[in-house]
Amino acid sequence: MKAHFTTLLGVSLLLIGGLVPVQAGDDSFAIARDKSLAGKRVSGACLPFAQDLYSRLTKAGGEAHLVVFNWRSPAGDTGTHAIVVYRDKEGRFWAMDNLQTAPLWLAGSTPAAWAAFFAPRYDVEVKGHKTDPSLAGQYADRSRSTETAAVRTAGLLASN
């Protein structure tokens, strides 16, 4: 039944995927859709994916939340899932998991509300939540990334 949950979720998100806006200076959508993320499109690899995406978004200075929740289907099947929720330039929250092709807009502002909105046909219970409070209200911008700054500095030093 876990495959059924994953398939239904994937199909519904594919239908929504074309509605994701991309804004100049906001790299969160590109980061979230990066095909090189660990566990991308791999069934059962939601946690490695979420950890990698969370790391990339926060390194780019964006507010991100790694949310782990248990789910129960109406038929009684159970499982655990991990998603990453992040804020865009307009202040809206979006979620991404390892099986989606595009981020999903979310209602709410708490991990419990996000998990319930992400998996609307399931009973959910948040088991874990990680965030960096110093990034609250920020969107991901690779120009703010510590790694990007180090590469730029190295390039400037090499050219002098």
Segments forming the whole domain that contains residue 56: 2-159
Whether the predicted pLDDT of 10 surpasses 60: no
pLDDT band at 158 (very low <50, low <70, confident <90, very high): low
**Amino acid letter for position 25:** G
Q: Which of 68-72, 78-82, 143-147 has the lowest mean pLDDT?
A: 143-147
Tell me if 88 sits within 8 A of 137, measured CB to CB.
no
pLDDT band at 144 (very low <50, low <70, confident <90, very high): confident
- 104-136 per-position pLDDT tens digit: 999 999 999 999 999 999 999 999 999 999 999
pLDDT of residue 145: 74
Q: What is the tally of structural domains in the chain?
A: 1
Tell me if 63 sits within 8 A of 50, measured CB to CB.
no
Helix (H) or strand (E) holding 28: helix 28-33
Cα–Cα distance measured from residue 157 to residue 9, given in angstroms and rounded to the nearest whole number: 48
Cα–Cα distance measured from residue 102 to residue 18, given in angstroms and rounded to the nearest whole number: 8
- 86-109 per-position pLDDT tens digit: 999 999 999 999 999 999 999 999
Tell me if 118 sits within 8 A of 2, measured CB to CB.
no
Q: Which of 4-13, 58-67, 77-86, 140-149 has the lowest mean pLDDT?
A: 4-13
